[in-house]
Amino acid sequence: MVAEAPGSVRLVLAPNVVHLDPEPAVFAAMREGWARQQSARFLQSTTIQPRLRLIERLGEFTGLYPWQWSPADGEAFIVHLRSGSAPVQLSTARAYEVIIALFMEFLLDRRYGWAEVCLDRFGQAPQEVFHEGNSVLHSVEYEGDPRRRPLTYDEVQALFDAADARPGRIRGQGRKGTLTALRDAAVLKTIYAYGTRRTESSKVDLVDLRRHRKAPQFGQFGSVAVRYGKSSKGAPPKRRSVLLVPEMDWVVDVLGEWVSEVRPRLLPDRHPALWVTERVGRLSPRSINEAFVTARRDAGLDEDLDLHCLRHSYITHLTEFGYPARFVQEQVGHSHASTTAVYMGVSDEYRNQLLEASLKRRLGDDWDLE
């Protein structure tokens, strides 16, 4: 007996059941089958569920079912998303096209039997919706929001000053939240000092703070073991060890105060997380993001800056400190140097220093940049 492939029509659509409304029943079974197929590939629910919602949105937009969709329907859907008061980014539109194309590829795969069922029950079979002729081309390396950029050194300082001022202001108003405000300031500083992502930061435990034998002066904060790094589709989380660089050694005092003085006052008991809440839970990525937004607002910084910009800043500033590109890439856990490069936004002063050094090497001391 040959085992059925996960997502096969025979596994999710009962053959002997007559549906009073067959079209929505088959559409629901298709989505269930695709979810099973993706689960068999070890994709996480956080990937699968948004994909299924997108397929539902396309059905709602067209008022049709997948075996009725045509390229014109897909094109109209993308045009709709790219218009209006909140148009999607180009990269988002491409991602949507890829997801829809994957769903149609699943339906057309003969191993799952969906095309045959559609022909038998409705007299129509699914077809490609997006192809090379009507899909967004991927022509450049980076298509993210151009407003996202590294913070300058002054902006980083202003952000931290605003975060540091918040506990005193809360205390002066007689409100609760002083300890959590102290925590939020420490979180933002730590994210910048180690260049971690919000989810990575949320999942750091106390045991992930490590000594580094080459830098004993940093004590237990010489490195951070990141065990929940961003994973590739269907792969487990990536691991890496982030070393504390001397230029960021000020974070040793920040973390020391948090671990030994502030965190114990939240009564975390045996909770393993480095960052805990007042209800003795793990601080969520969303709460970390909210801490950044609050500090950014208090500092009067550009509203287009987001938490991920601290990671951009870390990469940029490590480069300006003179660290090799490969070291920076390893620190932030990028698989490709090109990814690290697009995060970078070095200052004019840094470029001028490189130019001056190059001219000195070539022309000696008798050169004039004017």
| Nearest-angstrom CA–CA distance, 37 and 303 | 41
Do 105 and 166 belong together in one domain?
A: no
Residue 1 clears pLDDT 90, i.e. is over it: no
Boundary (domain end) residue, out of 305, 334, 362: 305
**Identified catalytic residue from 311, 312, 314, 317:** 311
Domain containing 101: what range?
9-122
Higher pLDDT, 90 or 241: 241
Do 116 and 167 belong together in one domain?
A: no
209 by DSSP, 3-state: which? strand
Going through the chain in order, the beta strands assigned E by DSSP cover 209-210, 223-229, 238-243
225 by DSSP, 3-state: which? strand
Do 176 and 288 belong together in one domain?
A: yes
Do 37 and 165 belong together in one domain?
A: no
**Identified catalytic residue from 169, 175, 230, 326:** 230
Q: What is the average pLDDT value for the chain, to the nearest integer?
A: 88
| Nearest-angstrom CA–CA distance, 322 and 359 | 18
Nearest CA-CA partner of 194 in 242, 139, 150, 253: 242
343 classed as catalytic: yes
Decide if 346 contacts 319 (C-beta within 8 A): yes
DSSP state of 357: H
Nearest CA-CA partner of 285 in 162, 200, 183, 184: 200
**321 part of a folded domain:** no
138 classed as catalytic: no
Confidence category of residue 275, pLDDT binned at 50, 70, 90 = very high
| Residues 319-354 as b or e (16 or more Cβ within 10 Å = b) | bbeeeeeeebbebbbbeeeeebbebbbeeeeeeeee
Residue 251 clears pLDDT 70, i.e. is over it: yes
State which of 13-22, 173-182, 334-343 shows the largest mean pLDDT: 173-182
Boundary (domain end) residue, out of 281, 305, 329: 305
311 classed as catalytic: yes
236 by DSSP, 3-state: which? coil
Confidence category of residue 233, pLDDT binned at 50, 70, 90 = low
**354 part of a folded domain:** no
**325 part of a folded domain:** no
Residue 343 clears pLDDT 80, i.e. is over it: no
Do 292 and 160 belong together in one domain?
A: yes
Boundary (domain end) residue, out of 105, 122, 139: 122
**Identified catalytic residue from 96, 228, 314, 343:** 343
Q: Which class for 369: exposed (0-12), middle (13-18), buried (19 or more C-beta within 10 A)? A: exposed
Confidence category of residue 41, pLDDT binned at 50, 70, 90 = confident
**33 part of a folded domain:** yes
Nearest CA-CA partner of 276 in 178, 287, 237: 287
Confidence category of residue 18, pLDDT binned at 50, 70, 90 = low
**Identified catalytic residue from 57, 308, 323, 350:** 308
Q: What percent of the chain clears pLDDT 90, i.e. is strictly above it? A: 70
Nearest CA-CA partner of 200 in 92, 250, 110, 273: 273
**Identified catalytic residue from 51, 183, 189, 197:** 197
At 44-66, the pLDDT tens digits run: 898 999 999 999 999 999 999 99
Residue 210, strand partner residues? 223
Question: What predicted TM-score, i.e. pTM, was given to this entire model?
Answer: 0.70
149 by DSSP, 3-state: which? coil
Domain count for the chain, please give it: 2
Mean pLDDT along residues 120-148: 76
Mean pLDDT along residues 3-32: 77
Mean pLDDT along residues 228-257: 90
Nearest CA-CA partner of 179 in 294, 255, 262, 258: 262
308 classed as catalytic: yes
